Amino acid sequence: MGKADKDNLKKIWSNYYLFILLAGVMVISSFMHEAFLTANNLANVFGSNVTTVLIAIGMFAVILTGGIDLSVGPVVALSSSLLAGFLQAGYPAWLSILIILIAMLIPGLISGTLIAYGKIAPIMATLAMMTIVRGIAYIYATGSSRIITNKTILYLGSGKISGIPVPIIILFVYFIPCWILFNKTRFGRQLYAIGGNQTAAYLSGVSVKKNLVLAYVFSSFTAGLTGIVLAGRLMMGAPIFGEGYEMDAIASIVIGGASLSGGSGLVRNVLLGAFVLGLITNVLNLVGLSSYFQMVVKGLIILGAVLGAYFFNRDKII
């Protein structure tokens, strides 16, 4: 294969590979189980995958800087547990949501500060925060789940507007400003610059430390929002929620073509990557594959996406 052919192949792949993956997954899945392409099943896939997409969007800001946030799952758990507790205590839904979203900025603020100013490795800082936040969630909830009966919250998690699930509407309402944030704002450009070359970004006048902190705050805020949506969908808050969410987010981002070393990727592709992962998970559930085997499959997907990105882009992935 000549150089021109290879360049054309790379261009086609980089522009259309996610659509090719989506089409391929849907075709293969339809042969594996006849119920896959039914309207009810596809609606369930997209509705239940909203939490993965939200988490991945938040994590994307951190990945762009070359970091990682392992605390997103526990933040989801704490957010849902606080919501259930506040509602049971008689707080109105809007006030509970407001307090929780503000409170969920704190884990990201602490992690980002430790990383940016304390020079602690992102994986170590967020691993510590993951353990701390999960512990706080268990302490607050006394180790058990709490039922949610508030109609407003249940509507946010499982209601429909003109036949469209409310969580999907929430996702796209949130996605639009996020797309603008990453693609059209100075903050977004600076995140790409930091991930591409932190030293060069600093020398060009980018406030590296401030933007690193903001990236982790954004990730934590989005995880808090995810916890609220999840609590509404499952009609409860629980300290066990969010387990494995960080891996689903990373898988979605990698499938979307972003480099784990930072500086590249599109938030649009993160959205598509998360839906590809959701479709794969759904068909594995339909054929009765256990959750343990699904973990293996997800790991292989991440590995395959990394190797594919290396082959076509010769990029530094990790």
In a domain, 276, yes or no: no
Mean pLDDT calculated for residue range 14-25? 73
In a domain, 37, yes or no: no
In a domain, 166, yes or no: yes
In a domain, 111, yes or no: yes
Range of the domain at 158: 44-243
Between CA 200 and CA 222, with CA 121 as vertex, the angle to 5 degrees is 90
Mean pLDDT calculated for residue range 258-268? 89
User: 210: closest CA among 124, 112, 129?
Assistant: 112
In a domain, 32, yes or no: no
- In this prediction, residue 318 carries a pLDDT of 47
Neighbouring C-alpha atoms within 13 Å toward the C-beta of 156: 23
CA 70/CA 161 separation, integer angstroms? 34
Tokens 């969410």 locate to 245
Other Cβ atoms within 10 Å of 291 Cβ, number:
10
Mean pLDDT calculated for residue range 93-99? 97
In a domain, 284, yes or no: no
What band does 313 get if pLDDT is binned at 50, 70 and 90? low
CA 58/CA 226 separation, integer angstroms? 10
Number of domains in the chain: 1
The beta strands (E) that lie in the chain are given as 146-147, 160-161, 164-165, 236-237
> By CB neighbour count within 10 A (0-12 exposed, 13-18 middle, 19+ buried), where does 161 fall?
exposed
In a domain, 302, yes or no: no
**Which one of 16-25, 29-38, 269-278 scores highest in mean pLDDT?**
269-278
| Concatenated DSSP letters of 34-72 | TTTTSHHHHHHHHHHTHHHHHHHHHHHHHHHTT---TTH
- For 45-64, write each residue's pLDDT tens digit: 787 889 999 999 999 999 99
In a domain, 14, yes or no: no
What band does 245 get if pLDDT is binned at 50, 70 and 90? very high
- In this prediction, residue 8 carries a pLDDT of 64
Strand partners, 165: 160
What are the Cα distances from residue 145, in Å, to 126, 157, 190, 233? 25, 17, 41, 14
Q: Is the pTM of this model over 0.85?
A: yes
Q: Cα(first)–Cα(last) distance of the chain, in Å?
A: 28
Tell whether the model's pLDDT for residue 73 goes beyond 90. yes
- In this prediction, residue 6 carries a pLDDT of 61
